[in-house]
Amino acid sequence: MTTQTQPRVRQSANVIIALLVGSAFVMILNETVMSVALPALIVDLHITARTAQWLTSGFLLTMAVVIPMSGSLLQRFPARTVFVASMTFFCTGTLVAALAPGFGVLLVARIIQACGTAVMMPLLMTTVMSLVAADRRGQMMGTISIVIAVAPAIGPTLSGLILGSLDWRWMFAIVLPIALAALTSGLLWLRVADEEQEHTPIDPVSVPLSAIAFAGLVFGLSLMGGSGYQQQGPPAWVPMGVGAVAMVIFGARQLHLQRRDRAFLDLRVFTYRRYWVSLGLVVLGFMALFGAIIMLPLYVQDVLGRSALVAGLTSLPGGLLMGLAGPLVGRIYDRHGARVLVVPGSVVLCIALWGFTMLSVTTPIAELIVLQTIMMVGLSMMFTPLMTDALGALPEGLYSHGSAILSTLQQVGGAAGTALFVTIMAKASRSGGAPDMPGVHAAFTVAATISVIAVFGSLFAGSCQLEDQPG
């Protein structure tokens, strides 16, 4: 390649990744606005809280079903085709949601949106690994943390501002032109050269097994996480049990298909030590993140007696700082590797979570914001290096499967963290399961204990940096 074409290739890669990051940001932003909007939807659509919760649960379940499929889709179709399909689903769902006359149509719209959202993050990570040189991947992956951190942080705040003066449908109507612009840009600009697609058919047995396995686990964890407030649907162990059995069968099926290189989700990624060590730490980090996302608003509103807006604003500084720190963390990773960031990051996370165990009914909001910001700084030092190191350990042919598993287990880890901490809070509560100080204290004590495991695990992160062989 000549020196003239090198900058052109780099510029093309930057444009493609910027387009994917912007699209993913819009999608995740739209995913997170719903939590604040549920009370308004309950009143306007004349539905119960239990029914309204399906607007969130249905979205998460669809994500759990579709994300594992993304590995096979990305190997069998060009990135442009996958992007256009993803954005088309999202734009269609957003339009239907903006025009929805009632709950049923809105739920269908959310499911259509989730079909598009589920594919975008694996597509983004796979594209970064394919287009960006190894010595610049950390910085590029750092931009993904903007999507992971900033969008969820500002989503509830944006939702509150819209609902303060406009109808809830405007949450979707405002997003739609931006999504359409992204779709148009992808149709015009998105080209990824030297793509090689597999033409083997997708295994028809693996698809339903994957759907039952991952949806069963996430649904069961969601039920467990809600058990402290209301009993709804079947007992949590029923879908979890069905999901676990399907998972075992699914895994056996993949091991059989791998012998012919036809796996729906290639499990050979777990033969790479750096991958599974980093993956385990990412899951622990997401357990802490999602646990805090659910516990802190409950503490602010039910224990401190503050408003939902105040509860949402407490997470804003930490989320913004985490996103802004992502590219800097990525550059440090490119120069020094993962361990120099992950070890101190896990220690910072541990300190913040132990600080949460000392909250009381008189804790100032400013102190809570400081602790939450410290936690997000620790997570920012972990997520970018760990995700980059995990995928960097794999050969190029496994990037799509590795990113699909990584994104799937992030969802499972978040659901597990939410379920674990809410259940512990409910069991330890002296108010019949409602949030109170003893329950909150117990939940954060368990979270802090788990963070100690993450500190010890971080000592193994980034080891064998030059390792290219599975093991």
String of DSSP letters for 39-86: HHHHHHHT--HHHHTHHHHHHHHHHHHHGGGHHHHHHHS-HHHHHHHH
CA 168/CA 160 separation, integer angstroms? 10
Contact of 91 with 100, CB cutoff 8 Å: no
Helix axes 151-165, 316-336, angle to 10 degrees: 160
Query: Domain 1-199, CATH 1.20.120.50 — does that match?
Result: no
Give residue 107's pLDDT: 93
The domains spanning 1-199 and 271-464 adopt the same CATH topology: yes
155: left (phi over 0), alpha (psi -120 to 50) or beta: alpha
End-to-end Cα, the chain, rounded Å: 34
CATH of domain 271-464: 1.20.1250.20
Listed residue (68, 85, 76) closest to 23, CA to CA = 85
Q: What is the mean pLDDT of each run of 10 residues along the chain (471 residues)?
A: 45 76 84 72 80 79 86 83 93 94 93 92 84 80 72 72 81 91 86 55 85 86 59 73 93 88 87 92 84 77 77 78 83 89 94 92 90 89 89 87 87 79 80 76 89 91 55 49
Show me where the domains of the chain are located.
Answer: 1-199, 203-263, 271-464
Give residue 258's pLDDT: 85
pTM of the predicted protein model: 0.79
Which DSSP symbol is given to 261?
Answer: T
